[in-house]
Structure 1
Amino acid sequence: MNHSKYDMITVLGATATGKTSLATHVAAKIDAEVISADSRQVYRGMDIGTGKDLEDFTVNGQSIPYHLIDILDAGAQYNVFEYQKDFQKVYEEMQKRNVFPVLCGGSGMYIEAVLKGYKLAQVPVDDALREELSVMTLEQLVDRLSKLKRVHNNSDIQNKKRAIRAIEIEEYMVHHPELDLQFPEINSLMVGIDFTREERRNRITQRLHQRIDEGMVDEVQGLLDSGVTPEGLIYYGLEYKFITEFITGKITKDRMVDGLNVAIHQFAKRQMTWYRRMEKNGFLIHWIDGKLSLEDKTDQVLKLYQLD
């Protein structure tokens, strides 16, 4: 059912921008399935605090299948390299079933890792090689890199530091072919949900109070009761850090709410900075006005998707 040049649609945006409902509405229209790109929604039992919004996966009575949500027990640690491997499995399995994927998330690093096919996680620093390359010009570095791989990614050759790292990765892969994940090249339509800073702040604050009313503190208490250590939860940051500190008596409820509000605003700002950097590195993100109705936003995505 893919009449488009794209292999995937990616819906991204800062926290509290309504990514999930847009992704699921788009998926409903084109019979797609959603792959989550969120570094904390992989954990079971961490629902309200990570903003899973699982009710959004039912659109007009239709259940939208989703992947890479609830795949690990709370307390486990997870990283971008494991995410890549898990994504690849899901992506290939969906291709076999001829199902179109909609990637949805706020974790810029995870999104970038699958769209660029990072090989970063396993490749150690090679100081001797770095020293040897440091005297070369950017032009010479690009030349050397192009002998190792097809250079079609401008972000690899933006400056000497990046070109050196790209060569380091490719050289390492030559000597360790067993590690070379044949990562699929994915041509994704990228859509971002855009709000002004002021609108984003209001949405974050409103959503925080809503989630506290929905029982976010009880959720964290339940995780502690089930045997996850306070340190294990604090590791996840944001909601889990502040609420655990409140439950264990380190901070007051007011301090928890205020501290969390500030921390989520800072987190959203970092997310936006990551997306802007991706744009500078050559990713084309189509920004859609967040104030539009869900129907209008969905139509805009579908128009972009069907344009060839």
Structure 2
Amino acid sequence: MTNYDMITVLGPTACGKTSLSVELAYMLNSEIISADSRQIYRGMDLGTGKDLCEYKVNDKDIPYHLIDIADPGYKYNVFEYQHDFLEAYNDIKSRGITPILCGGTGMYLEAVLKGYRLIPVPENPELREKLEKKSLQELTEMLSSYKKLHNSTDVDTVKRAVRAIEIEEYYKSKPAEYRDFPMINSVIVGLDIDREIRRQKITKRLKQRLDEGMVDEVRGLLERGLTPDELIYYGLEYKYLTLHVIGELTYQEMFIQLETAIHQFAKRQMTWFRGMERRGLKINWIDASLPMNEKIDAIKQMLD
């Protein structure tokens, strides 16, 4: 354990990251830092798959960080994530504990594990006004014209595309006034799940969360004053459920399109993780279908 500053558990959606991290935290008397770009939002629970009930083992609550830290509608970004991560990380380390970073948002994970030095990018009202009437296809084409491409696979709304262009314009015109970010020596564990098993788990989990009231969760967020566009911005569940609630999709259309989108998202996650490996991060892959005790034993061997 003394060789590592942190343990990271990553993998695609529905692979069992949370349950493994919780068991590991219980064994090591550790605490979990979330690396999920949507679980930071309060009230967005079923749609983001927080599964907070899982953060308990044998009546012991496992402490977690960076979940429920922002109000829905707020445009949280990776620069803020780095700042909030460091606060949580330093707090945990100051108490002599080795943190566990758990999540599937590749950009958040890589920003921490590679020590990216980022500039906070302010909004550009003039640029936004110029872009506001352009279609998603036009914006995507504009985005692809930049030498330094944004992660366009996640740009599935006009607002996301505009923000991506805004960031690229800012980086192009501003000097690199980067802030320092410490290099953290982490053992990285990846959960590798068979594609067909992953698809089955995604479909089962989607049906379960719909049964638990995911449509009502979206209705509640809209009743609290969020606009449909603000919810659609968050993509996946919130995009398709909102379209259903406002009458643009039937329930069946919503389910089919959302199920397909989640499968595609999981595939993009794996593509990002493989890219992380190409960019120099060593990910120790474990078969997600192994019994929990065997996965824990495999991680113990890595730590030893």
TM-score, normalised with respect to structure 2: 0.81
SS at match of 2:109: helix
State the Cα deviation string for residues 99-120 of structure 1 (Å, max 9, x = none). 2100000001100001111113
Superposition pairs for residues 116-195 of structure 1, below 5 Å? 116-122=114-120, 172-173=175-176, 176=177, 180-181=179-180, 183-195=181-193
Equivalent residues of 2:118, 2:179 under 8 A apart: no
1:147 corresponding residue in structure 2: none
2:89 corresponding residue in structure 1: 91
Equivalent residues of 1:192, 1:287 under 8 A apart: yes
2:16 is the alignment partner of 1:22:
no
SS at match of 2:7: strand
Mean alpha-carbon deviation: is it higher for 223-232 or for 7-16?
Answer: 223-232
Give how far 1:27 is off. 0.6
Query: How far apart are the structure 2 equivalents of 1:74 and 1:91?
Result: 24
1:246 corresponding residue in structure 2: 244
SS at match of 2:188: strand
2:267 corresponding residue in structure 1: 269
State the Cα deviation string for residues 46-91 of structure 1 (Å, max 9, x = none). 0110010101100111100000000001111111111011111111
Equivalent residues of 1:37, 1:103 under 8 A apart: yes
Query: How far apart are the structure 2 equivalents of 1:304 and 1:243?
Result: 41
State the Cα deviation string for residues 8-39 of structure 1 (Å, max 9, x = none). 00000000111001001001000110000000
Give how far 1:161 is off. 7.8
1:220 corresponding residue in structure 2: 218
Equivalent residues of 1:123, 1:172 under 8 A apart: no
Equivalent residues of 2:119, 2:179 under 8 A apart: no
Gapped regions of structure 2 (runs ≥ 5)? 123-146, 150-170
1:107 corresponding residue in structure 2: 105
2:64 corresponding residue in structure 1: 66
Residue 33 (structure 1) aligned to one of 31, 34, 44: 31
State the Cα deviation string for residues 208-248 of structure 1 (Å, max 9, x = none). 11111111111111111111111110000000000000010
SS at match of 1:282: coil
Give how far 1:122 is off. 4.1
Give how far 1:301 is off. 1.4
Equivalent residues of 1:26, 1:302 under 8 A apart: no
**TM-align CA RMSD:** 2.1
1:288 corresponding residue in structure 2: 286
Query: How far apart are the structure 1 equivalents of 2:247 and 2:267?
Result: 29
Query: How far apart are the structure 2 equivalents of 1:256 and 1:79?
Result: 28
Query: How far apart are the structure 2 equivalents of 1:228 and 1:196?
Result: 38
Query: How far apart are the structure 1 equivalents of 2:53 and 2:262?
Result: 22
Query: How far apart are the structure 2 equivalents of 1:161 and 1:104?
Result: 28
Equivalent residues of 1:80, 1:121 under 8 A apart: no
Query: How far apart are the structure 2 equivalents of 1:228 and 1:97?
Result: 39
Q: 1:7 to 1:226 in 2, by over 3 A?
A: same
Query: How far apart are the structure 2 equivalents of 1:180 and 1:280?
Result: 25
SS at match of 1:43: coil
Percent of matched pairs sharing the same residue: 57
Residue 231 (structure 1) aligned to one of 229, 252, 269: 229
Give how far 1:121 is off. 3.8
Runs of 4 or more off by more than 3 Å in structure 1? 120-124
Equivalent residues of 1:46, 1:74 under 8 A apart: yes
- Structure possessing the higher radius of gyration over alpha carbons: 1
Query: How far apart are the structure 1 equivalents of 2:246 and 2:68?
Result: 26
